[in-house]
Amino acid sequence: MTSFIAARHSIFARIVLWAIFTAAIITCTLWLLTNSTIERANRMALQRAVDVDLAGMVDIYASGGIEELARRIDDRLALQPRDGNPAHYMVADANGVRIAGDITRWPKLRASVSEASDLHLNGSVRAFAHATQLGPDLRLLVAHEYRDISGLTRQISLTFLLSGLLAVVAVALGGWIAAHRLAGRIERINAAFRLPDATAMQQLETEGHDEIHELTSHSVNALEQLKRLATAHRETTDHVAHEIRTPLMHLDNRLVRALNGSPERETASYIADARTEIRAIIRMLESLLDIAASEARRGDRYGLAPVDLSAVATRLGELYADSAEESGHRLELDIEPGVILEGEEMALTRLITNLLDNAFKFVPAGGTVWLKLRKGPELVVSDDGPGIAEAHRHRIFEKFDRGGRQSVTEGAGLGLALCRAIAERHHLEINLTTSEYGACFTVKPETRR
């Protein structure tokens, strides 16, 4: 079923189907033209034969009179060709009374103007007839039956049918082989974009000089350039983070030494507050770097591996359950086993812990937090806290936004922004869904548009 759906959406499959359809249409068109040509040629030959026969009868009458014409007509009727077009004659007076020939009734043809037309003899035999005036009271009609070409038509139809089937099979086979080769080359390019590692890059074709080769060259150059840009970006952010983190850590160490010197109580309080601010700045810097790294690798499958999300959620739930009791909260777990996801375990762990930290941070003592996991996967973290005001719901996942909520422990407002970046890195989407009370965050596969 999956391969059938993929074939429906494949441009190469559509090209092959169009080629087969075109070959069938061309074959049918040629068959119709051939049949039409045969029928037209048969009619033209019959008309010429009738005209020649009529001219001969007129000459006989002119040289031998009516008696000789009647005798020759009887001779012609007695010696009909077996494989030709049987001939029929009629010589009649001005009133249409038969004088000679085998046609008993004069058709609706005007002899005075030498009219010619198709007619049916004896009600069923189709023939072509030509009438002419021999004298004031004498007229002549010559008719030849149409040759039965149904056998020839059947043979031609059978020939075209077999030829058309062979043409369709040849086009289908050749198109499938060509499409399969092209699809394989395109798939290697797509694989290199999905997983741009060294192995995928080496599998890209470099032979040939067609459009696919040109596309391959551009793809290789683009991937290499993106790799260089990602490396430069990572090195720059790491260097900047190091240059900022190092002096902050030195400053924190100096503050620790200052505290060890037993300063006055007010001074010690200021120093402790400064250390808290320094640690908050370091956490904010690390969160910003994590967000940038996740956003830069959005859609990148490199580095992903099967992760037992059920085991991760269970482990984190057990850890948070102990701390929840100490803080006066309650944590309810509803985790379905066997939920596997392609991803980075550390990043997914960070996603769940951020959602749980966010819930416990804003839920007052005595409140409850729920952690639910279902196959899909679908992860739900909800609480019975004060929730988020409607005016702030649309920007809750933006950087440095706290959703208008205050807590005892203030943060930089980067937790949910990091959650969204990690979710998008794993082709997931995180949403704040409507609930009767508190806040409810759901994480599930992103909706394809």
Residue 424 in this model has a pLDDT that exceeds 60: yes
What is the reported pLDDT for 139? Answer: 92
CB 197 within 8 Å of CB 227: no
Based on the fold, state whether residues 344 and 264 are members of the same structural domain: no
Based on the fold, state whether residues 372 and 273 are members of the same structural domain: no
What is the reported pLDDT for 5? Answer: 40
CATH of the domain at 137: 3.30.450
Q: Give residue 138's pLDDT band: very low, low, confident or very high (50, 70, 90).
A: very high
Based on the fold, state whether residues 288 and 252 are members of the same structural domain: yes
Q: Give residue 314's pLDDT band: very low, low, confident or very high (50, 70, 90).
A: very high
Domain encompassing residue 72: 11-152
Based on the fold, state whether residues 234 and 214 are members of the same structural domain: yes
Q: Is residue 141 part of a domain?
A: yes
352 versus 212: the higher-pLDDT residue is 352
418: helix, strand or coil = helix
- For the chain, how many structural domains are there in total? 3
Identify the sign of the CA torsion 396, 397, 402, 405: positive
What is the reported pLDDT for 336? Answer: 92
148 versus 53: the higher-pLDDT residue is 53
What is the reported pLDDT for 407? Answer: 45
Tell me: the pLDDT tens digits for 358-394?
Answer: 888 888 888 899 999 999 889 999 998 888 877 777 7
Residues 405-432: what's their mean pLDDT?
A: 73
User: Phi/psi of residue 364, each to 5°?
Assistant: -70, 165
CATH of the domain at 321: 3.30.565.10
Rounded-to-integer distance, Cα 293 and Cα 236, Å: 12
At CB < 8 A and 24+ separation, what contacts does 128-133 make? 128/43, 128/46, 128/47, 128/50, 129/50, 130/50, 130/51, 130/54, 131/107, 132/54, 132/58
Based on the fold, state whether residues 209 and 331 are members of the same structural domain: no
Q: Give residue 409's pLDDT band: very low, low, confident or very high (50, 70, 90).
A: very low
Of the three residues 152, 187, 212, the one that is the final residue of a domain is: 152
Based on the fold, state whether residues 146 and 253 are members of the same structural domain: no
Q: Give residue 4's pLDDT band: very low, low, confident or very high (50, 70, 90).
A: very low
Based on the fold, state whether residues 35 and 148 are members of the same structural domain: yes
Q: Give residue 294's pLDDT band: very low, low, confident or very high (50, 70, 90).
A: low
319 versus 403: the higher-pLDDT residue is 319
Based on the fold, state whether residues 233 and 146 are members of the same structural domain: no
Q: Is residue 217 part of a domain?
A: yes
What is the reported pLDDT for 443? Answer: 92
CATH of the domain at 204: 1.10.287
Q: Tokens at residue 410, please?
A: 């203030």
The H or E element that residue 252 is part of is helix 211-260
